[in-house]
Chains A and B, each alone.
Chain A
């Protein structure tokens, strides 16, 4: 393309972009900043930009140091373990099942395929509160209420559709000729699936797992109803950060940062597949 000089339109564009970036990044910056403030520094007017870092929020979150003893300490340790176990297990199962179903949907033409795909999509469309009425009853009867197992099942369910769709997209990206070559040359389809196709979508499986993990990690609505005490996950625990003096802001901000860290890591790892994950794979990869 021929180079163009800076124009008024370009200056306007730059201004808009800068303003939006401030709107978008400011709160994140504020979150991190606030998590390091002491109680006294939190509520100053004007808000302080420079202050002595204070780790009491994080101490409260992890239940260490002198903050551990206070009644308002969130005591994240238990919830952290719950969250990790639930998010990882649910993700693993969902990705495994989704990989199989995604392959089937990508390679085979069967009656009701469209319906199945739409059905799978519904796991993302359904408002959690709508089905929670039922889950609440069913899980109570089955003894799954307030257990990690129950939440793992739910995590699997909310991610299964996503995993199926994304994996279908990745499988669609593998030419059918791959199996064709193997089949004609005397191999079975299962062999081709395991030894040729799966290695070709390794990256896709990792990306899918990343997405499922993020959604599982952040899930709140289901967990808040299903887990009442034992199986509380991090987001649920954070939401109950009510001290005797109202909300414990330092601890909430610190917990927020703690919650964001794994997400940021996974986000960074899967950034190239953002589109795939955010649109249920509907738009394919690498567009």
Chain B
């Protein structure tokens, strides 16, 4: 277990820059999730830490040791791959103890560690079997057991759950989260699944095109997205984005047709951001239908409701603003006749249209 320090790391493949000048510190026993769409550089990043990928520039430190030039074998890292990488010719027991065998650990120690790893992953019943006959989830458990059996400095997980069936994947996610906190390994986890990231991470590192978009705890990521990409990528269903124009009374939506009234404090704050084009972002969970609000209620407006429907046990509605169709989610009781659309302004965000950055404007008024 160790602190990992990544210092201005860059990886280029020919003209393509996979990781671009990335720096990050990972605390001891922390679980950090690298999240991003495919091709964002998150796996390359992980392979650099593992020593499987040489970096073009930058250094990697484990505690106070510079490991940039070391081979994987000499870094004492453990890794679980996306696609199962068990040794098919070895039984489960031999697979788990392989890293200890490779180091020539004494027999007694091997027995003891194997026993421990098999117990925590509940693998005792399959120790004598070959990996081929096992379901994918159990195979990944074996891979995890093989990873932790040697007490690695850093545990690296490369989309370990994505090749597993949905129902079992959830099971594994729980197990993984529990064990990481129990065992306290410094862990770097790579995934494109924001649910996994939010669920497991102490901190999430959202990446795009080889760069970090935002680093933060899951709730920071959810509540204070750094920009439109972060806002879009985290949370489902995805956030609604609406072009807005300023108005003395608040904001005009949907090509000036609709006025979103804002409290006085917010209008003042809006005045200070300067002459920019703005976009409003709000999650469907924070859009509701309410009956008969007060006429001057802030955050409410009339809009055509296109459709109401249930998805699973959740109730949604589509409403129109100009040419856009937007999504809302009815959390409370069903609204009656001629309902109005209500934005929960405390959870609405304003973004700069040009840069995509979130602007520090509180739409709900004074703090």
A–B: direct contact at CB < 8 Å: yes
**Shortest distance from the beta carbon of A100 to any chain B beta carbon, whole Å:** 34
- Give the Cβ gap from B58 to chain A, nearest Cβ, in Å: 15
Q: B70 in the interface, Cβ–Cβ < 8 Å?
A: yes
The answer to the question of B346 belonging to the interface, with a C-beta cut-off of 8 Å to chain A, is no
Residues of B within 8 A of A1 (CB): 52, 54, 71
Can you name the residue of chain B whose Cβ is closest to the Cβ of A4?
B71
Residue of A nearest to B72 (CB): A2
Query: What does DSSP make chain B's interface, helix, strand, loop or mixed?
Result: loop
Whole-angstrom CA separation of A137 from B70 in the bound complex: 71
**Cβ distance B92 to chain A, nearest Cβ, rounded Å:** 27
Bound-state CA distance A2–B52 (Å) is: 8
Q: Which of A1-34 contact B (CB under 8 A)?
A: 1-3
**A3 neighbours in B (Cβ, 8 Å):** 54
Cβ distance A287 to chain B, nearest Cβ, rounded Å: 16
Bound form: Cα–Cα A2–B53 in Å:
8
> How many whole Å from B80's CB to the nearest CB in chain A?
20
Interface size on B, residues (CB 8 A): 6
User: What's the Cα separation between A174 and B69 when bound, in Å?
Assistant: 43
Which residues, 39 to 76 on B, are CB-close (under 8 Å) to A? 51-52, 54, 69-71
CB interface residues, B 144-192, toward A, < 8 Å: none
In residues 6-26 of chain B, which contact A (Cβ within 8 Å)?
A: none
Closest B residue to A2 using CB positions: B71
Residues from chain A with Cβ under 8 Å of B69 in the complex: 2
- Chain A hits for B54, CB < 8 A: 1-3
Which residue of B is nearest A3, CB measured? B54
Give Cα distance in the complex from A3 to B53, angstroms: 11
Question: In the assembly, what is the distance between CA of A266 and CA of B274, in Å?
Answer: 73
Closest chain-B Cβ to A77's Cβ sits at a distance in Å of: 54
User: How far does the alpha carbon of A2 sit from the alpha carbon of B69 in the complex, in Å?
Assistant: 7
Would you list which residues of chain A between 43 and 84 have a CB under 8 Å from chain B?
none
Q: Mark A135-153, 1 if CB is under 8 A from B, else 0.
A: 0000000000000000000
A3 to B52, CA, bound (A): 11
B17 to chain A, nearest CB (A): 20
Bound: A1/B70 CA distance, A? 10
Q: Mark A109-143, 1 if CB is under 8 A from B, else 0.
A: 00000000000000000000000000000000000
What residue in chain A is nearest B69 (Cβ atoms)? A2
Give the complex CA separation of A1 and B50 in angstroms: 10
Complex formed: what's the CA distance from A39 to B262 in Å? 107
What are the residues of chain A within 8 A of B52 when measuring CB–CB? Answer: 1
Q: In the complex, what distance in Å separates the CA atom of A1 from the CA atom of B51?
A: 7
A98 to B12, CA, bound (A): 47
Measured CA separation A2–B71 after assembly (Å): 6
- Report the bound CA distance from A1 to B54 in whole Å: 6
CB distance from B68 to the nearest CB of A (A): 9
| Chain B residues, Cβ within 8 Å of A2 | 51, 54, 69-71
Report the bound CA distance from A1 to B69 in whole Å. 10
Q: Which residues of A contact B51 (CB under 8 A)?
A: 2
List the A residue with the shortest CB-CB distance to B54: A2
Instruction: Kindly report which residue of chain A lies nearest to residue B74, judged by CB atoms.
Output: A2
| Cβ of B366 to closest chain A Cβ, rounded Å | 57
Q: Tell me the smallest distance from the CB of A2 to a CB of chain B, in Å.
A: 5
How far, in angstroms, from A239 to B9 measured CA to CA in the complex?
Answer: 67
Q: Tell me, rounded to whole Å, the shortest Cβ–Cβ distance linking B251 to chain A.
A: 49
A181 to B52, CA, bound (A): 40
Chain B: minimal CB distance from A4 (Å): 8
Q: How far is the CA of A2 from the CA of B54 in the complex (A)?
A: 6
B binding-site residues for A, Cβ under 8 Å: 51-52, 54, 69-71
Q: A1-B52, A2-B51 are in contact. List 7 more A-B contacts (CB 8 A).
A: A1-B54, A1-B71, A2-B54, A2-B69, A2-B70, A2-B71, A3-B54
A interface residue numbers (CB < 8 A to B): 1-3
What are 9 residue pairs bridging A and B, where the CB atoms are less than 8 Å apart in the complex?
Answer: A1-B52, A1-B54, A1-B71, A2-B51, A2-B54, A2-B69, A2-B70, A2-B71, A3-B54
Among all A-B residue pairs, the 7 with the closest Cβ atoms: A2-B71, A2-B54, A2-B51, A2-B69, A1-B54, A2-B70, A1-B52
